[in-house]
Structure 1
């Protein structure tokens, strides 16, 4: 694959995935605002419309699109991602300063969504400047980012399930502990680099994370299906259940991509 083809492919893949995520963040934040937070609700609605338009526009491009056109699109999306990042940080500040009593957005959830917006805009900069990280660094950094995201998801699920769903709450708590541990292991590997960046260590790192992410992905799928069928008690929006499932699927896709790049070996079916 030519570099220009890879640039277009990667850019469109990132934008199609993350623009939908940003759009859904806008909805979830809006649902957590109070009735009187009309300005914030309006801003959230505007961001929903912006990222919905970006998502639609991204599907109008093909792999044959001129890379310069895609580069300009990346810059446009970067601006939108920067604006929603700033909005999320503003909301987080209001919550932490106790200026929104009674609102239903956890501070960690708002911070979580802002980290994803920051990740998205940084990826667009990397693509447009051609400064993607070397594989060993990318493996560690992507896993540190996504392991924390997965740990957060487990915590959110545990807190949004009805307390009477004791077994599911306990499973979510167990996943939270597992991913906190995996995150600490990843941070340790990060601090040991470059000496830690050997193929055997990185390969084992990916294998161990894959097993845990697959288990969490399956748990999220089960929870999503039960929520959609109204078979469990929770305050989890069905779209949120699907949202966190898709992010686990994305992490598995990235792990498999790294495994192929690192060893050239085929990866197990997910």
Structure 2
């Protein structure tokens, strides 16, 4: 369905182009002042994805699908370039060539995984080959549960150590989502036998409960940071960034649940 293809493409690009733009800023803030080349590259990607975000917002569901297909290809190229940049930065950090910089290796790996996810989604959309629903449910949850576990770890490490209660809560979420990820990987290795409606439904229900709790924790942390009521080195935009990603994961879970139970919603796993 051409309308579904256009709508899904625009939804993905609007969400993820903003995420890529913000990744550029966060990486830039973590570089040393002497890393001028890396800072300039980060600034370039910030401007590039800001432009893509604005262009995506200017399109409508009624836009010619061929125009959107070409736009997807253009965005795919941009995402490929920022993925290469992120992996280059990770290599520099792991080879100890950026001593004193403030980007965690796991954070750089994290943002590169999100770029790769975005790039793959654009390819799938243009080929019209999104995964069947049972596979998509497992694969999307494996991806996002790891993202959520990473977020909890970053929050724990960026809070001031004196914020003992919040650090403890963040560490508890980290452990909870590590366990959920292990369970998802078990379900993944058991497929296709594990892909029954009751098991997948329970899988979604369990994850939804935990993601909502983490989402609420992130919302509270964001509000406290914006009001300067806690001690941390978390940028307010980063607090909002991780909150929005939890909201996005909840939206995906709900869409899967609706499709799995046959509720009348737009198909999320395929296009005609």
TM-score band (shorter)?
over 0.9
Q: Offset at 1:265?
A: 5.0
* Equivalent in the alignment of 2:117: 119
TM-superposition CA deviations, 1:49-79 (whole Å, max 9, x none): 0000000000110000000000000000000
CA distance in 1, matches of 2:17, 2:228: 28
Runs of 4+ in 1 over 3 A off after TM superposition: none
Shift of 1:21: 0.1
Distance 2:60 2:7 in 1: 8
Return the structure number with greater relative CO, CA threshold 8 A, min gap 6: 2
Q: Partners in 2 of 1:191 and 1:250 — Cα distance?
A: 25
TM-score w.r.t. the length of structure 1 is: 0.97
Counterpart residue number, 2:91: 93
How far off is 1:264 after superposition?
A: 2.6
Matched residue SS, 1:59: helix
User: Which of 143, 152, 155 pairs up with 1:154?
Assistant: 152
Q: Could you say which residue in structure 1 is the equivalent of 2:28?
A: 30
Runs of at least 5 residues in structure 2 that lack an aligned partner in the other structure: 265-272
Q: Distance in 1 between matches of 2:190 and 2:6?
A: 34
1:102 paired to 2:121: no
Report the Cα offset of residue 131 of structure 1. Answer: 0.6
Residue aligning to 2:131: 133
Give the C-alpha shift of residue 155 in structure 1.
0.1
Q: Report the equivalent of 2:142.
A: 144
Post-superposition offset of 1:188: 0.2
2:59 and 2:29 map into 1 onto residues whose CA distance is 32
- Whole-angstrom CA distance in 2 between matches of 1:168 and 1:13: 33
Q: Report the counterpart of residue 4 of structure 1 in structure 2.
A: 2
Find the counterpart in structure 1 of residue 267 from structure 2.
none
How many residue pairs get aligned? The number is: 265
Give unmatched runs, 5+ long, in structure 1: none
Across the aligned residues of Structure 1 and Structure 2, the Cα RMSD in angstroms comes to: 1.0
* 1:199 paired residue among 194, 197, 205: 197
Partners of 2:64 and 2:115 lie apart in 1 by: 26
What secondary structure is seen at the aligned counterpart in 2 of 1:140? helix
